[in-house]
């Protein structure tokens, strides 16, 4: 156990961005460590939205006990709320008007005498902490996202659970594809990063893995399906990341939300390539979009461990007087990076990643 910092009496904690398995494990670790040092924890509801609207409550031991294995977040979350750009209405032309409400949030932090903030977030929401860092509020980031695309950490919690869910789905699709002699396209999440597709595709032995970092050629995809068919393998499993795009083409956008820090929601490429395969070959194709199933439910053991270590490490930084750091996992070690540096930056699959080479070989 680390030494407690007498200057820290009360901290705020929030979960921002898309939910992912392991959020509650971090909340539990942070709150239990804090309570052991006599530090009070204010749970801020629905990410930064709760800070804007002054919705927060003191967490008691019972609030954070027995939540380790629970999916989602007991605090609620929002992937839209950004205090420095809050949508407050529309102008005559129908465009959103945004207002900076950082001062309002600062008042709420002062009213509740919050000495530091723990922000459990992905790249978009992590950058919402920057104005508070600039105003002198000590902030501590904990990297979460199923996409595993946060700069500064080799691993974000939630990712390994999403990979397991996608792998299970690919395994199940395998047997139905083989029975019907079909091409089955499974679209997984990941935004602009192919981590989920690459890991689950390799784990499930997908025949074709398409990721955003490498533009695909639909004719080459069709050729592989036909070659397999000629060799007697009368089915093909394609694992495609939602952000994958064809050479010279664009990613398929499912919807746009101008009020969100990241307004683009990807989705639909699986349907597009299944249709193209049916047009360009005599093969039958079906597609499955896994969607939010990948974010739900209980975290796998490795994510529970990672989330607990991250929460505990964030509290060690906070209680030993460090400021404005994001905990990270690099090269098998727990470490920390400057929060401002990590915020808003993406970590894509490098083209020389060993798993890419292995995937190609097998």
Q: Which residues are catalytic?
A: 147
201 part of the interface to ligand F6P, by CB under 6 A = no
DSSP structural state of residue 346: B
Segment contacting ligand F6P by CB under 6 A, of 46-54, 68-76, 184-192, 229-237: 184-192
The span from the CA of 75 to the CA of 45, in Å, is: 5
**Cβ neighbours around 54 below 10 Å, total:** 15
Q: Are 32 and 308 in contact (CB under 8 A)?
A: no
265 part of the interface to ligand F6P, by CB under 6 A = yes
Tokens at 61, concatenated: 């031991």
Question: Using the rule CB under 6 A, which residue among 145, 148, 164, 167 binds ligand F6P?
Answer: 145
Write the interaction track for ligand F6P spanning residues 302-341; mark x where CB under 6 A is met and - where it is not: ----------------------------------------
The span from the CA of 13 to the CA of 132, in Å, is: 14
Q: Which has the closest alpha carbon to 204: 232, 238, 180?
A: 238
The span from the CA of 195 to the CA of 197, in Å, is: 6
Which residue lies nearer to ligand F6P by CB, 221 or 252? 252
Q: Sheet of 139-143: strands edge to edge?
A: 56-58, 40-44, 10-15, 116-121, 139-143, 325-330, 333-338
Write the interaction track for ligand F6P spanning residues 224-243; mark x where CB under 6 A is met and - where it is not: ------------------x-
Segment contacting ligand F6P by CB under 6 A, of 40-48, 143-151, 309-317, 328-336: 143-151
189 part of the interface to ligand F6P, by CB under 6 A = yes
Question: Using the rule CB under 6 A, which residue among 50, 131, 190, 201 binds ligand F6P?
Answer: 190
The span from the CA of 272 to the CA of 350, in Å, is: 26
152 part of the interface to ligand F6P, by CB under 6 A = no
Write the interaction track for ligand F6P spanning residues 67-106; mark x where CB under 6 A is met and - where it is not: ------------x---------------------------
The span from the CA of 110 to the CA of 102, in Å, is: 12
Question: Using the rule CB under 6 A, which residue among 26, 41, 166, 266 binds ligand F6P?
Answer: 266
295 part of the interface to ligand F6P, by CB under 6 A = yes
Q: Are 42 and 58 in contact (CB under 8 A)?
A: yes
Segment contacting ligand F6P by CB under 6 A, of 22-30, 61-69, 186-194, 217-225: 186-194
18 part of the interface to ligand F6P, by CB under 6 A = yes
49 part of the interface to ligand F6P, by CB under 6 A = no
Tokens at 11, concatenated: 């901290």
CB of 210 to ligand F6P, least distance (A): 15
Tokens at 56, concatenated: 């927060």
The span from the CA of 6 to the CA of 221, in Å, is: 61
Which residue lies nearer to ligand F6P by CB, 16 or 138? 16
Segment contacting ligand F6P by CB under 6 A, of 188-196, 226-234, 272-280, 324-332: 188-196
Q: Are 181 and 282 in contact (CB under 8 A)?
A: no
Tokens at 154, concatenated: 């080799």
Segment contacting ligand F6P by CB under 6 A, of 140-148, 163-171, 174-182, 206-214: 140-148
CB of 234 to ligand F6P, least distance (A): 32
Q: Which has the closest alpha carbon to 259: 68, 3, 48, 63?
A: 48
The span from the CA of 285 to the CA of 181, in Å, is: 9
210 part of the interface to ligand F6P, by CB under 6 A = no
Question: Using the rule CB under 6 A, which residue among 12, 16, 43, 122 binds ligand F6P?
Answer: 122
The span from the CA of 230 to the CA of 218, in Å, is: 18
DSSP character string of 133-182: HHTT--EEEEEB-TT--BTT-S--BTHHHHHHHHHHHHHHHHHHHHHHT-
Question: Using the rule CB under 6 A, which residue among 25, 116, 146, 285 binds ligand F6P?
Answer: 146
Q: Measured at CB, which residue is nearest to ligand F6P?
A: 189
Q: Point out which residues bind ligand F6P (CB under 6 A).
A: 18, 79, 122, 145-147, 189-191, 242, 265-266, 295
């Amino acid at each position: 156990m680390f030494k407690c910092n007498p200057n820290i009496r009360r901290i705020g904690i929030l979960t921002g961005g898309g939910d992912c398995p392991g959020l509650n494990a971090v909340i539990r670790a942070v709150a239990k460590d804090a309570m052991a040092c006599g530090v009070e924890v204010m749970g801020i509801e629905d990410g930064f939205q709760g800070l804007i609207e002054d919705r927060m409550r003191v967490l008691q031991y019972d609030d954070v006990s027995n939540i380790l294995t629970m999916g989602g977040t007991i605090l609620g979350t929002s992937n839209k709320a950004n205090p420095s750009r809050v949508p407050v209405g529309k102008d005559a032309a129908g465009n959103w008007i945004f207002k900076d409400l950082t001062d309002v949030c600062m008042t709420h932090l002062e009213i509740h005498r919050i000495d530091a903030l723990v922000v459990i977030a992905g790249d978009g929401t992590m950058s919402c902490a920057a104005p508070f860092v600039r105003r002198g509020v000590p902030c501590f980031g904990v990297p979460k996202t199923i996409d595993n695309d946060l700069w500064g950490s080799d691993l974000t919690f939630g990712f390994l659970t999403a990979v397991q869910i996608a792998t299970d789905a690919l395994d199940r699709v395998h047997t139905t594809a083989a029975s019907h002699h079909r091409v089955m396209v499974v679209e997984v999440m990941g935004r602009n990063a192919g981590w989920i597709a690459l890991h689950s595709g390799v784990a499930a032995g997908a025949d074709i893995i398409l990721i955003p970092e490498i533009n695909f050629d639909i004719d080459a995809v069709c050729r592989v399906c036909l070659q397999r068919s000629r060799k007697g393998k009368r089915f093909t499993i394609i694992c495609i990341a939602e952000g994958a795009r064809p050479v010279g083409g664009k990613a398929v956008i499912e919807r746009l939300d101008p009020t969100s820090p990241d307004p683009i929601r990807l989705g639909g490429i699986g349907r597009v390539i299944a249709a193209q395969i049916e047009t360009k070959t005599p093969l039958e194709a079906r597609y499955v979009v896994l969607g939010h199933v990948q974010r739900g439910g209980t975290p796998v053991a490795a994510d529970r461990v990672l989330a607990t270590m991250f929460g505990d490490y964030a509290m060690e930084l906070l209680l030993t007087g460090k400021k404005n750091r994001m905990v990270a996992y690099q090269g098998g070690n727990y470490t920390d990076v400057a929060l401002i540096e990590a915020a808003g930056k993406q970590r894509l699959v490098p083209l020389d990643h060993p798993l890419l080479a292995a995937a190609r070989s097998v």
